[in-house]
Structure 1
Amino acid sequence: MDKGIAISFIISTYNWPEALELSLHSISHQTILPSEIIIADDGSDKRTETVIQKFASQTSIPVFHMWHEDNGFRKAIILNKAIQKARYDYIIQIDGDIIVDKHFIEDHLNAMEEGCFIRGTRANLSASMSTDILAKKKISFNHKIKLIAKQMPNALRLPLSIASLCTRKEQSGKKVKGCNMSFWRKDLLAVNGYNSLLQGWGHEDEELSWRLVNNGISKKIIKFSAIAYHIYHKQLPRTQEPSHCIILQRIIQEKTTWTNEGITSKITPL
């Protein structure tokens, strides 16, 4: 595996600058740094811009802020703009409420493989610990970490020789979360990226994953590596989930690979 490959690192965010600040600093402490960082901002206010500008002034990594007007949950649209902006062949993607272990990029590169996209896991921090780390601006944790029940395996990083034994491939797009994924950019372009019709919370990452699988790209599941800590927050409204599930089922049944409302789309926001 060539660890010298250039990486475009995409972070999606919306109006939580305190969490984004920790996420960005965790990226700057990686054993292998990305070649660029692209923030896919779904309409945050000026507080987020201030955090990004401050971080950009303190790092040698090129930082790009992709933003559009706040008109509801339109994460798929802004992620497509970030993918368009990406200059490099391999993309690693997280959400702005994720703090990554210092080996995160290294682990994704170890798992990187032609014909595959990577699906990692996340360790959900408890509400009390999330409050503490936001107040103290912590990006590294010890054995006293507090997680939501049964999450400890997701916070355990094992040596590559052991973790690789738990790696498996599936021809399925299910159980995917965009907070810990990586792709070949060419594979995302081949299916036209995210489906911009999925506006509102729910399944935009899974819908994309199914189209990748339908197009011959395997989902590669990694465990005990690429550790990602999820800062606790209340669940977002899920009013659009039923309609998104209908779209998702159609993608699965019809083995669809392409969305007309993706990276090249000129969709008018709802």
Structure 2
Amino acid sequence: MKVSLIVTTYNWKDALSVTLNSILSQKIMPFEVIVADDGSREDTKEVVDSFILKFTIPLIHSWQEDCGFRLAASRNKAIAKASGDYIVIVDGDMYLPPKFIESHIKNAKKGHFVQGGRVLLGEEVSENLLLKGVRPCIFSKGIRNRHNMIDSLILSRIFTTIRNNDRSTRGCNFALWREDAIRVNGYNEAFEGWGREDSEMVVRLLNAGLSRLYLKFKAVGYHIYHSENSRAQLQINNDIYLKTVSENLSFCKKGVSEYL
């Protein structure tokens, strides 16, 4: 199984460096890494170029012009470029523990997509990670969802469940088969601005007959602290989401097919 790891980013090169460094420490490396860049400045390209020299696997920089928050289009372009069978999508402001990719591989199942968990790092522990490279541990101060830091096969078998709804959707740690992403036409590019694009994607995958594996105590990402994105588009985006729900849609009009 070939895993394409997609890392979303926008103008935060220091956080992206943390993510890329954590990928280098994976016990099992993905087949390739694609940085889905929503129009960052040249300094982000310089960071990616510097890591290309360190990676023994392909590291691809998928950049699009900065025309506002267009996360859906950025992800779709990366999915179109992916040559792996299985796609794991994370945000470029996350530290990935060494067993992250290994755990996703072991939990990949046909007919399923995976919602992974996250740990929310506070300001101080985030600053230590960004500036000093100090990796957070379960005893670090200022951590939310601390219990998610436990990596346990036994607990994972007990608490991992099938949840065929869009509750607790986290686009920052999400995995699916590439063929399933294409089947529903990827992310809906009707969404611009933050909010609901991940939940709407989950609904279409469920409507296509897939099941959502809600993975616990494995493949958890650590989210670096940052201020929240603007909610200005939330109501418009919520209307798009509600249309998908009410009409039982499994395919969006404008999606990854634009780039295949």
TM-score, normalization by structure 1: 0.93
Question: Does structure 2 retain, via aligned residues, the 8 Å contact 1:10–1:91?
Answer: yes
Within the candidate set 42, 49, 55, 2:45 is matched to 49
Q: CA deviation at 1:148?
A: 4.0
Question: Does structure 2 retain, via aligned residues, the 8 Å contact 1:173–1:209?
Answer: yes
Structure 1 gaps of 5+ residues are none
Match of 2:222 in 1: 229
Match of 1:39 in 2: 35
Match of 2:141 in 1: 146
Match of 1:155 in 2: 149
TM-score, normalization by structure 2: 0.97
Question: Does structure 2 retain, via aligned residues, the 8 Å contact 1:174–1:209?
Answer: no
Question: Does structure 2 retain, via aligned residues, the 8 Å contact 1:154–1:224?
Answer: yes
Match of 1:215 in 2: 208
Question: Does structure 2 retain, via aligned residues, the 8 Å contact 1:155–1:224?
Answer: yes
Secondary structure class of the residue paired with 1:55? helix
Question: Does structure 1 retain, via aligned residues, the 8 Å contact 2:125–2:136?
Answer: no
Q: CA deviation at 1:167?
A: 0.8
Q: CA deviation at 1:173?
A: 2.4
Match of 1:93 in 2: 89
Moved over 3 A (4+): none
CA distance in 2, matches of 1:66, 1:265: 15
CA distance in 2, matches of 1:91, 1:228: 16
Secondary structure class of the residue paired with 2:213? strand
Q: For 1:174-226, what per-residue CA distance to the aligned partner results, in whole angstroms no more than 9, with x for missing partners?
A: 32111111100000000000000100001111111110000001110011111
| 2:232 aligned with 1:239 | yes
CA distance in 1, matches of 2:168, 2:241: 13
CA distance in 2, matches of 1:255, 1:147: 41
Q: For 1:133-158, what per-residue CA distance to the aligned partner results, in whole angstroms no more than 9, with x for missing partners?
A: 111123x3333323444x11122211
Secondary structure class of the residue paired with 1:187? helix
Q: For 1:214-269, what per-residue CA distance to the aligned partner results, in whole angstroms no more than 9, with x for missing partners?
A: 00011100111112100000001110011111111111111100001111248xxx
CA distance in 2, matches of 1:226, 1:130: 19
CA distance in 2, matches of 1:131, 1:141: 11
Within the candidate set 68, 81, 85, 2:64 is matched to 68
Percent identity for Structure 1 against Structure 2? 38
CA distance in 2, matches of 1:113, 1:220: 9
CA distance in 2, matches of 1:156, 1:51: 31
CA distance in 2, matches of 1:37, 1:230: 19
Question: Does structure 2 retain, via aligned residues, the 8 Å contact 1:123–1:147?
Answer: no
CA distance in 2, matches of 1:15, 1:226: 26
| 2:186 aligned with 1:193 | yes
CA distance in 2, matches of 1:106, 1:27: 11
Question: Does structure 2 retain, via aligned residues, the 8 Å contact 1:42–1:74?
Answer: yes
What do you get for the CA RMSD once the two structures are aligned?
A: 1.2
Match of 1:112 in 2: 108
Structure 2 gaps of 5+ residues are none
CA distance in 2, matches of 1:161, 1:188: 30
CA distance in 1, matches of 2:13, 2:176: 26
CA distance in 2, matches of 1:186, 1:228: 24
